[in-house]
Amino acid sequence: MGIQHEQIQEPAAHVTPLMSRPDGTVYLATYYGNTLLLQTVNGEENPSRWELTRQPGQLKLEWTDAHSGMPDTAELLAALEASFTNYPNHHQIHLLAPVGQADELLRSGVLVRGENNQLIAYTELFWQQPRIWLASPQPHAFPLSYVLSQGRRHPLRPPKPVGIVYQRHIPWLARTLSFRAVNIEYDLERFNRWMNDPVVAASWREEGDPGKHRTYLEGIAADPHVIGLIGCLDGEAFGYFEVYWAKEDRIAPFYDVDDFDRGWHVLIGEPRFRGKPFVTAWLPSLSHYLFLDDCRTQRAVIEPRSDNYKMIRNLSLGGYANLKEFDFPHKRAMLGMLLRERFFAERLWIPRDGVATSLSATLF
């Protein structure tokens, strides 16, 4: 007698598409019970069909499309992302599908060969694939060469990005979250408005006219160790993020900094985007972006005010360990740190119960 396959009962059928963008191709992934339909956004071809079944201790993803010879690599990546997103408690997926680029996928860690030559995708490895979430992933790490900046020796940094750098579908919002590089001419008005919002101003203390904020953004643009980003949901801007290389930053003297540590600051400028559903979207996504942007980044750091207990609690739920308090000239700070290994091993892109209901617009 053959093995009896138990049909997965959850999640229930839904028709809100999950969007996936592997290798720059946009797919709509729609689940109907155990069936996954994948279609490119142009909709020129019939959707391909995949099935999910569960055997003891494993989840199996099977390609059942009879319309073509085999799925291409982008379609396979989209199917895996949709499956891991819909079944976040599964650590691995056993794949039954013809794979045309198996060697390349095995070398990159998308797939691993198990017993009996079975192809397996592990969530910890899959979520470290830049080609799925970065708009322009680099094929190789930027070459290592050391320079001096203000007396600090650090690696030469790559050119700053332009346009969208990261995109991820957020299932609980049914929207796409993205980060894009600041465009001063396009973003100055909203940046000025955000900085003069009383909630933001209480933390950033950068109120002023557009001229002051143009100078501020031009300073960020000229600084090779900082990148200014705008966070968007379905293209609607909601907040400003600064990500930086910690080795060249003011935080460097306060801990044993590594060459590729990254840090960040944030303000949420649009009040309706402040709160639990949004925090659980952008906070882990920003951490994810920093780890994908350079595979050598092993730690993300942050320095909220030591008395900002709500912030610190939210960061803790996001995987950031509170290491110590220390004194900046302008504040008493808490050093928070997130390890790359912890982020991927514990799947911290998945919201945890008890996340604080609000993360105010604040400088970390």
Peptide bond preceding 17 in cis form (omega within 30 of 0): no
Gap between the Cα atoms of 362 and 265, Å rounded: 8
For the purposes of burial, counting CB atoms within 10 Å of the CB of 139, is it exposed (0-12), middle (13-18) or buried (19 or more)? Answer: exposed
Strand pairing report for 35-40 and 299-302: unpaired
Q: State both tokens at 80.
A: 């895996």
Gap between the Cα atoms of 237 and 267, Å rounded: 12
Torsion of CA 184, 279, 364, 309, to 10 degrees: 160
Classify 326 as helix, strand or coil.
strand
Among residues 81, 242, 248, 303, the one annotated as catalytic is: 303
Each residue of 99-114: b (16+ CB within 10 Å) or e? beeeeebeeeebbeee
Q: State both tokens at 259.
A: 């060459």
Helix, strand, coil percentages, rounded to 5, for the chain: 30, 30, 40
In angstroms, the Cα distances linking 163 to 180, 227, 325, 343 are: 5, 12, 36, 26
The answer to whether the beta carbons of residues 51 and 35 sit under 8 Å apart is yes
- Nearest-CA neighbor of 20 among 32, 29, 33? 29
The answer to whether the beta carbons of residues 300 and 290 sit under 8 Å apart is yes
- 303 is annotated as an active-site residue: yes
In angstroms, the Cα distances linking 59 to 84, 91, 322 are: 10, 9, 36
For the purposes of burial, counting CB atoms within 10 Å of the CB of 266, is it exposed (0-12), middle (13-18) or buried (19 or more)? Answer: buried
Question: Which phi and psi (to 5°) does residue 346 adopt?
Answer: -95, 5
Gap between the Cα atoms of 345 and 310, Å rounded: 25
Q: How many CB atoms lie within 10 A of CB 294?
A: 19
Q: Catalogue the active-site residues.
A: 303
